Amino acid sequence: MTTHKSKPERVVSLAAATDGKPAREKGLSDIAYDQIRRDIIRCVLRPDEEITESQLAARYGFGKAPIRSALLRLAQDEMVVSYPRRGYVIAPITLEYVKDLFDYRAIVEPAAVRLAIGNVNEAELRELDRISTAGYIPGDRESEQNFLANNKAFHVALARASGNRKLASNLERLLDEMERLFHVGLSIRDRTEEMQHEHKSLIDAMIAGDVAKAEQAVVEQIESARQMVLGAIMSSPKLQQVSVTLA
């Protein structure tokens, strides 16, 4: 298959990927939250980096009140850690954290795929796949963001076809939480062609109604993504500077 290096089509907006509020309904604290969260996910604000309300207010052009509100929400999301009288630290990426997220996904997504067998629309699924594997530019955060949003839409569509709204909702939230890890992995090399093959194997198995092959395909996808992230963390001197701990 041909790997496309152009920036991917965007089917999911940043607002939709966060709290779903239309821009006109967002207050300053919502906008501050979205912008800081975006930069945490993209590792512009690096794991384990110390930040303060004053620093972020100057950086993003908000007053301290919206920044404080945004940081409280980000602390609830476990994206920052609060230290009294010191400020905040961007949540570190630990190997235990990586393991927990991928292990949980390996439980949730195969179950969703199994339930979705027989309920998927082949034409819609292949169109979603076409968009979600259209390629990205490694290291270009906007390109990676669009690619990840489209890829998330593909996997969430499969989960929704299961008919279990709770299962689909859990997978969607999990993919949101994993986005920072994917940015780390995608920045190292282009996995587009591999993902095209992985998606095709999964779709073919689902359309054929082969539950065992479909589950195997999605487990292999998850493991490939895990190895991509771990490989990026362990092999890149640049990423070693982005504090990744063994705790």
d(CA 26, CA 20): 10
pLDDT at residue 234 above 90? no
User: Looking at residue 246, what is its pLDDT?
Assistant: 45
Of 104-113, 199-208, 232-241, which range is least confident? 232-241
- Tens digit of each residue's pLDDT (9 = 90 or more) over 64-91: 999 999 999 999 999 999 998 889 999 9
Q: Give the separation between CA 183 and CA 41, rounded to whole angstroms.
A: 7
pLDDT given at position 98? 94
The percent of residues above 70 in pLDDT, for the chain, comes to 85
Q: Does the pLDDT value for residue 232 go beyond 50?
A: yes
The reported pTM is 0.77
Q: Are 174 and 225 in contact (CB under 8 A)?
A: no
The pair phi, psi for residue 50, each rounded to 5°, is -80, 135
190: confidence class by pLDDT, cuts 50, 70, 90? confident
Using the predicted structure, report yes or no on whether residue 239 has a pLDDT greater than 90. no
Instruction: Count Cβ atoms within 10 A of the Cβ of residue 122 and give its class: 0-12 exposed, 13-18 middle, 19 or more buried.
Output: exposed
H/E run at residue 150: helix 141-160
Say if residue 222's pLDDT is above 80.
yes
Q: For residue 17, report the phi and psi dihedrals to the nearest 5 degrees.
A: -80, -10
d(CA 166, CA 190): 33
> What is residue 93's DSSP assignment?
E
Q: What is the pLDDT of residues 86-144, one digit of tens each?
A: 899 999 988 899 999 999 999 999 999 999 998 888 888 888 888 888 888 888 888 88
- Those residues whose C-beta lies under 8 Å from the C-beta of residue 88, and which sit 6 or more positions away, are 50, 51, 52, 71, 75, 80, 81, 82
- Helices 95-116, 141-160: crossing angle, 10 deg rounding: 40
Checking if the pLDDT of 16 tops 50, the result is no
Alpha carbons 228 and 102: distance in angstroms, whole number:
12
Instruction: Supply the angle between the helices 211-235 and 165-186 in degrees, to the nearest 10.
Output: 40
* Predicted local distance difference test score (pLDDT) of residue 236: 57
Token pair for 95: 């190997």
pLDDT at 129: 85
Ranked by mean pLDDT, which of 20-24, 30-34, 138-142, 191-195 comes out on top? Answer: 30-34
For residues 201-220, give the mean pLDDT: 94
User: What pLDDT score was predicted for residue 187?
Assistant: 79
- Identify the pLDDT of residue 15: 33
113 token code pair: 């795929």
Rounded CA-CA distance 124/131 in Å is: 11
| Domains of the chain, start order | 14-91 (1.10.10.10), 94-245 (1.20.120.530)
pLDDT at residue 73, rounded to an integer: 96
Of the listed ranges 11-15, 74-78, 165-169, the one predicted with least confidence:
11-15
Closest CA to 151 of 105, 182, 120, 185: 182
